[in-house]
Amino acid sequence: MMKTFSKTIAKLTIVTILFCLFSLPCFAELRREPAASIVEQGLTAITVDAEGADDFRYAGLKDKRHTYVGKIKPESKIKFVIGGSLKNAKELPITGRTSLIRLQVTVKKGDTVIKTENFRKENMSNVFLNYTVPKDADTLEVIEVFTLTNKSKDSKFNQKVTTVNKLILSAREEVLAAALGQPVTTNSPDKKTTTDTDGKKTTTDSNDKKTTVDANNTKDGSGKNAEKTDGKNGKSTEESPEAEAAKRFTRIVSGIAFLVFLAGIGFHFFLKNRKSNKIASDRLARKEQLRLQAIERQKQLKQNNRPEEMQEEIQRTDGPTEDTLPPDNPQHAIPQTGEQNVSAAAGVAQAVEPNVSAAAGAAHTRYCQNCGAPLKGNSKFCENCGSKV
Residue type, 317: T
CB 31 within 8 A of CB 47: yes
- pLDDT on residue 282: 92
Report the pLDDT value the prediction gives residue 240, as an integer from 0 to 100: 54
For residue 2, give the 3-state DSSP assignment.
helix
Distance CA 250, CA 256 (A): 10
- In degrees and rounded to multiples of 5, residue 322 shows phi and psi of -65, -30
CA distance 127 to 133: 18
Amino acid at 92: L
Closest CA to 62 of 170, 167, 156, 189: 167
122 class by beta-carbon count within 10 Å (0-12 exposed, 13-18 middle, 19+ buried): exposed
Considering only CA atoms, which of 253, 198, 232 is closest in space to residue 58?
232
Residues 12, 270 contacting (CB under 8 angstroms): no
The residue extents of the domains of the chain are 33-180, 342-389
Mean pLDDT by 10 residues, the chain (389 residues): 64 68 45 55 70 82 84 83 64 62 87 88 73 84 82 69 85 83 56 39 38 34 36 39 75 87 88 90 91 88 74 64 52 50 51 48 69 80 79
pLDDT of residue 193: 37
Alpha helices in the chain (DSSP H): 2-23, 25-28, 36-40, 173-180, 189-198, 210-216, 222-318, 338-363
CA 32, CA 247: separation in Å to the nearest integer?
A: 17
Sign of CA dihedral 301, 303, 304, 309: positive
Question: What is the CATH number assigned to the segment(s) 33-180?
Answer: 2.60.40
C-alpha 212/C-alpha 9 separation (Å) is 65
Query: How far apart, in whole angstroms, are the C-alpha atoms of residue 380 and residue 371?
Result: 14
| Predicted TM-score of the model (pTM) | 0.38
DSSP string, 42-95: TEEEEEEEEET-EEEEEEEEETTEEEEEEE--TT-EEEEEEEEEEPPGGGTT-S
- The CB density around residue 357, as the number of other CB atoms within 10 Å, is 10
Structure confidence at residue 352 (pLDDT)? 45
**Alpha-carbon distance values, 105 to 114, 133, 140, 143 (Å):** 11, 11, 7, 7
